[in-house]
Amino acid sequence: MKTHLFAKGKGTLHLSFVILIVIITSGILIPQHGFGQNAQSSGTDSTRVKQNVIVRPVSYPKVVGYLSFILPIVTIDENATTTNFSKGTFSIGFPVGVNVLYSDKFGFSYEFTPTIKSTGGTSKMSNLLFDPGTMFRFQHSFTIITRLAFETSGRYGFTPVFNKVYLRTRDVNYFVALSTPARFGNSLPASMGLNVQFGFIFN
């Protein structure tokens, strides 16, 4: 009886630790000054900041880094449909990378994503993904990224990413992205998934 209670408590502790990481990361990623600037009624200083950020001349090529976290929503293959947070399992990834921007319309992205998985009362780093890709940049801060994917789990494939910058500040730009990973190999059926990603890019 005591052993069972200890195992249950240990599982709760691990899950709480993962949730704490998500909360801390979310707090870091939530804009602190951008919304305050937008809410100013006088408009003079706020407008000046916006103009400095948007109109500032850019010389190419330009290299920028970014930090983010990503949540798998659902993965589908011929045998099953798996959702995050189901059956006591939770996964979260932390993509970090460098974008090399060659123009207003094109760039190349190098990204690494370690993934932490919590299941059965324990958590571990379950996978490391390297997914470089070309960036096609459009108006209104919208970007499509076509990534290749190579995982330490033995899987490989490609990942289309639909990225949108939703807030610009002097130091960082905040973005949200949807990705649809396709994976093959390692004696497993082909799969498709849907992920959501939040992060910021250093200016």
pLDDT at 14: 54
pLDDT at 87: 80
Residues for the chain: how many in total? Answer: 203
Residues of the chain with pLDDT under 70: 1-56
Residue 70, H or E segment: strand 62-77
Structural domain range at position 154 = 2-202
Residue 22's SS3 state is helix
Q: Which two tokens stand for residue 43?
A: 């408009």
pLDDT at 86: 86
Distance CA 51, CA 66 (A): 23
The CATH number of the domain holding residue 196 is 2.40.160.20
Residue 164's SS3 state is strand
Domain count of the fold of the chain: 1
Torsion of CA 12, 15, 21, 22, to 10 degrees: -130
Distance CA 5, CA 9 (A): 6
Is residue 156 within 8 Å of residue 150, measured between CB atoms? yes
State the pTM of this model.
Answer: 0.73
